[in-house]
Amino acid sequence: MSKSVILFTRGTMGDIYPFLHIGRKLKTLGCDIIFMSNFRYRDNAEQEGFEFVALDDEAWFDYLNNVPESKRKLPALLKLYKDIIPATTEKELALIESKIESPENTIILAHSNDYMTSMMAKEKYNIPLHLCVLAPSFVHSIQFFESVCKNASLQVNQVRENVGLLPVQDWEQWVRGFNDVFAFWPQWFSCGKSNEVQEMENVGFPSVGHVDQNALQPEVTKFIDSEKKVVAISHGTSRPFRDNYFCDAIEACRNTGRKLLVITPFREYVPDNISEDKDVLVVDYCPFHELIPQIDLLIHHGGIGTVRESIASGTPQLIIGKGYDRPHNGRIVKGLTVGDWIAPNALSSETIKASIELILNSEDIASSCELHKEYMVEHQVENKFYSKILE
């Protein structure tokens, strides 16, 4: 009987692509893949031949992925999770239960930022749980999860009682009840910092370029096929953290002899008259695995997936990101000399322009990008990861 693997992740595409890659590899090893995530990733999962289970709907997705800045500080986030846990955990646990045909033949791989339901499933149905940490700063998510549990202990234990589990007394021990925890980056990407979870094992970067098979749009190919250097700017699949994010980049590139490709589905953050500028092109989307090797610099929000793709392409990057893993990834990129980063509160057209000039005129950054491009080939996810979770 083939192994049934539940992949539990949600968020933006940076949280989804690695799990799609892991699922694809496991599928080639004979596993049945059940992909549990936000409703909008159904097509991505089904294109890979996975069974898909939606954990939310459009209204709930927009609510959780566009949390106002005022609610992102720790006290507000803890309150948010206190409200969310009763509303979602029992439903999600029932969804997992409905997909377990044989507990002894089922395993869960869960994103470290979101494993409340998976932990309860491990305990209730006696199935292994393997935690996947996608970026160095996400190591702290385990500690944050402990804070959430302590702050919402009444709510969590009420859910546990409702599903037939005993109350938790020692939250520090409970949140570390997973079978394994894997770090999806090589040790050199940590810039020498030690892991804060003793049992965590570095297994290398997941290769995600093949997941998106779309070709580069003809208008983009035509735009970048010139003697001018091309700078691209994106904020991934999320809204920019500041209204002037794209406007400042456009202003920074004007009158520099460089073209700017703006990639965002959120056109309200781009000036209305931008079509009048022949050196600026705005598109909703680009397949990064096709685009990044053909441009001179990528400015982005600092998501780990985009960082990884840029390093793999040998393309320098400028990170301007806020929240989640983004600032930490920016500092790592700068420390590796494969680009630069701008602190969120320092964002302006002047700081962007200065960083662009620094990056594109630096021989050290150019040579370091080539060196780390070679490193990437050697440090993809190792087969021992797959052997370990299937043993």
DSSP per position, 15-54 = HHHHHHHHHHHHHHTT-EEEEEE-GGGHHHHHHTT-EEEE
* DSSP β-bridge partners for residue 298: 232, 317
pLDDT of residue 194: 47
CA-to-CA distance for 6 and 377, rounded, in angstroms? 28
| pLDDT confidence of residue 197 | 66
Amino acid 70 reads S
CB 119 within 8 A of CB 169: no
Burial 258-296 (b: 16+ CB within 10 A, else e): bbbbbbbeeeebbbeebeeeebbbbbeebbbbbbbeebb
Which residues contact residue 320 at a Cβ distance below 8 angstroms, ignoring those fewer than 6 apart? Answer: 245, 299, 300, 301, 302, 330, 341, 342, 344, 347, 352
In angstroms, how far is CA 277 from the centroid of its own chain?
A: 33
The pLDDT value given to residue 1: 67
Residue 52 burial (CB count, 10 A): 17
Q: What is the pTM of this model?
A: 0.86
Q: What residues pair up with 237 in beta bridges, in sequence order?
A: 235
Q: Specify the length of the chain in residues.
A: 391
28 vs 269: CA distance, rounded Å: 42
Which residue has tokens 């589905």? 265
Q: Which domains does the chain have, with CATH numbers?
A: 4-178 (3.40.50.2000), 218-378 (3.40.50.2000)
CA distances in angstroms from 284 to 154, 175, 265, 331, 368, listed in the order given: 44, 39, 4, 28, 31
d(CA 379, CA 390): 21
Please, what are the averages of pLDDT over each run of 10 residues along the chain (391 residues)?
Answer: 92 88 93 96 95 91 64 70 85 96 95 93 96 90 87 92 95 93 89 62 76 80 89 89 89 87 92 84 91 95 91 95 87 95 91 95 96 82 84 82
Query: CB atoms < 10 A from the CB of 48, how many?
Result: 16
Structure tokens at 363: 């021989």
What is the C-alpha to C-alpha distance for residues 205 and 164, in angstroms, rounded to an integer? 38
